Amino acid sequence: MSESGQKHPPKPPARPDRVSLRQYVTLFRKDILSAQPQRLYRAWMAEFKTPFFRSFMINQPDLVKTVLKDRPEEFPKSERVTEGLRPLLGNSVFVSNGEVWKRQRRIIDPAFEGGRLRDTYPAMLAAAEAAVARLGERAGDVVEIEEETSHAAADVIFRTLFSIPIEHHVARRVFDQFKIYQRSQPIVNIAAFVPIPKWFPRFFKRDTKQSAKMINHLIRQLTEDRMKAIEAGTAPDDLATKIMTTEDPVTGNRFDTDEMIDQVAIFFLAGHETSASALAWALYLMATHPEWQEKVASEAQDFGGEFSDVSRLRISRDVFRETLRLYPPVPMMVRQAGCPQTFRERAVPKGSQVVVSPWHLHRHERLWDNPDGFDPARWETENGKVCAREAYIPFSTGARVCTGAGFAMVEGPLILSLILKRFKVQPVGPEPVPVAHLTVRSKDGIKLRLQRR
């Protein structure tokens, strides 16, 4: 229970402290959150050994800073975890390392610089208004809100990236195929536990391979059409055009078609899947905390719809920040020690997996006041301000911070505000159980009743 006496938002049950490797692998593949012991919410560091590798989870803020901000080149992304994402993401910026990653970021980052956010805002607002209109047809009904937020977030991506709404026939097919991929693909595959040579064939589920192939085919179609439009001088000034016409300042080269397909896939995954997850949990938290729901709705009544008005959605932004604390869409980030390290007077051998877990860091009992409670007002407290700097990384941090972090922090509060301006939401049915698939979702969906205000 929180200090106010209100029940804490749902949290997965922790596993027993001691389990066999076989039990752990089984639990891990089912859901990485409930596969972890309770002690990790208090530990500064924990070690896990298997016959094939050692992993270290770090929750101590200065160690997290070392790995993600101070010395990121010594801790590249672990290929063990990205193995499971390669059918869809190829060698995109999300999974690449080293010079390849640096080149990709040099081309992508300019598209998301401050001024571009203002340019993409009208498309974002149009998608948000379309989401509200769709929900208006469901007023009075019980809705599975994750489906609705997935639809809304996908619409934002297609409008801002390719200037087409989700109703466009290609966009709709990508969205439908991605739902199949999301359900069929666990966050990690067996390569996370057993070292497999690069030449050895990877065994992915049939649905996973087929949906990834179809998504890539559809994205290729969009990309090739856009390249023709750029050559003809008829392309709209959106994110896809910006990225495809940006030259690497070091080499002078642009992305070719195959590279662009990989990047669009990760924009869709990172920009749609993560936003959909956060929005669904935000609406659930509003349904279970009606006093905060009314604060957001009241604030939204004065929202004028201009880009400059977004900065006034302070309550909505604090609610969204608190949602990202409790339900970070990407719950764990895995790096690999590129050379021997020493953490907390303990040897971390070269090749070890170093796990940074926003899920545990954001709920750490020795860092946060009321760590499992929902309290958007915490960001104005001294504890909240310190933790925001040292123990809050929903978008990662350092060199590999999410390119779209600023984008997400406009999109989330905007859509949340516009929905609650028009509707009241109430929880229906059993409490949702958080599980980690590609992102933190509810095991059996989140059902809410919508009522017009």
Burial class of residue 397 in the structure, from the number of CB atoms within 10 Å of its CB (0-12 exposed, 13-18 middle, 19+ buried): buried
Listed by start position, the domains of the chain span 84-332+367-380+394-452
54 pLDDT band, cuts 50/70/90, is: confident
pLDDT score, position 200:
40
Cα separations in angstroms, 117 against 94, 175, 406, 411, 418: 21, 24, 8, 10, 19
Q: What is the token pair recorded at 34? A: 């409930």
The mean pLDDT value for 85-99 works out to 76
* Least confident among 84-93, 392-401, 444-453: 84-93
What pTM, to 2 d.p., does this model score? 0.91
Mean pLDDT estimate for the chain: 88
pLDDT score, position 284:
98
* Side-chain-side CA neighbours of residue 37 (13 Å): 16
Q: Which helix (H) or strand (E) holds 410?
A: helix 405-422
pLDDT score, position 11:
93
The mean pLDDT value for 333-347 works out to 94
The C-alpha atoms of residue 440 and residue 436 are separated, in whole angstroms, by 4
pLDDT score, position 194:
45
Instruction: Indicate if the alpha-carbon torsion angle 138, 142, 147, 152 is positive or negative.
Output: positive
Which option is the CATH number for 84-332+367-380+394-452: 3.30.1490.20, 1.10.3720.10, 1.10.630.10, 3.40.50.1100? 1.10.630.10
* Ramachandran quadrant class, 382 (left: phi over 0; alpha: psi -120 to 50; beta: rest): alpha
84 pLDDT band, cuts 50/70/90, is: low
Between 228 and 193, where is the model more confident?
228
Q: Which residues in 79-211 belong to E strands, given as ranges?
A: 142-144
- DSSP category for residue 9: P
